[in-house]
């Protein structure tokens, strides 16, 4: 029964990523109400995205500890679960705004990479959650693989949005 254990989560993850991309592409972006309000909203989004990246780094350290690569403690599994939940929660309002107001765009390489990574992030997340609920012989390599993919997507999302914002427009504190 190894195949369904991997394939069902993979198909669900790919389906999620493709559905988000198709929605972002087909739906007419709602846009932003006015420029000052949009800039304040962008500030909030970049700080939320930065918090998501920070939580993802804690997730990585906790995972390394769970796999015996770093010292461990009894509270590490709970730390891994709760930082993951919080990261997902904080990412949702940002991604909803991206998808609903801006859509899936390909104006240039950065924006295209950002849109693709946003879809990849939620697809990888769905696959990871489904793999977690299906213990099996492939788990020792599938979980680190999909965890690494999720972290890569979060890092790429931050580089193509928040870092770009900080280095071109500059950080603000308006939320």
- The closest residue (CB) to ligand HEM is 118
40: its two tokens: 């304040």
Of 77-85, 99-107, 132-140, 142-150, the segment contacting ligand HEM by CB under 6 A is 99-107
The answer to whether residues 143 and 132 touch, using CB atoms and an 8 Å cutoff, is: yes
104 is a contact residue toward ligand HEM (CB under 6 A): yes
Q: Are 93 and 52 in contact (CB under 8 A)?
A: no
CB of 25 vs ligand HEM, minimal distance in Å: 9
Shortest Cβ 135–ligand HEM spacing (Å): 28
Name which of 114, 122, 104 is nearest 28 in CA terms. 104
Residue 95 to residue 102: CA distance in whole angstroms = 10
Find the distance separating the first CA and the last CA of the chain, reported in whole Å: 50
Q: How far apart are CA 38 and CA 72, in angstroms?
A: 43
Task: Say whether residue 56 binds ligand HEM (CB under 6 A).
Answer: no
Beta carbon of residue 137, minimum distance to ligand HEM (angstroms, whole number): 32
Residue from 62, 124, 149, 162 binding ligand HEM (CB under 6 A): 162
Count of beta carbons in the 10 Å neighbourhood of residue 164: 15
Residues forming the site for ligand HEM (CB under 6 A): 20, 24, 42, 45-46, 49, 52, 91, 94-95, 98-99, 102, 104-105, 111, 114-115, 118-119, 121, 157, 161-162, 165
């Amino acid at each position: 029964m190894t195949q369904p254990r991997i394939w069902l989560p993979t198909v669900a993850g790919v389906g999620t990523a493709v559905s988000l991309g198709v929605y972002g592409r087909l739906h007419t972006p709602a846009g932003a109400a006015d420029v000052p309000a949009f800039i304040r909203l962008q500030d909030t989004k970049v700080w939320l995205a930065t918090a998501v990246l920070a939580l993802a780094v804690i997730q990585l350290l906790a995972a390394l500890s769970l796999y015996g690569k770093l010292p461990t403690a009894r509270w590490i599994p709970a730390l891994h679960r709760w930082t993951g939940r919080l990261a997902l929660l904080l990412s949702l309002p940002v991604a909803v705004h991206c998808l609903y107001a801006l859509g899936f765009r390909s104006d240039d390489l950065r924006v295209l990479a950002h849109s693709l990574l946003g879809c990849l992030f939620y697809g990888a997340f769905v696959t990871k959650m489904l793999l977690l609920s299906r213990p099996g012989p492939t788990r020792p390599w599938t979980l680190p693989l999909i965890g690494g993919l999720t972290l890569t997507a979060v890092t790429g999302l931050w580089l193509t949005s928040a870092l770009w914002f900080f280095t071109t427009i500059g950080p603000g504190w308006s939320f």
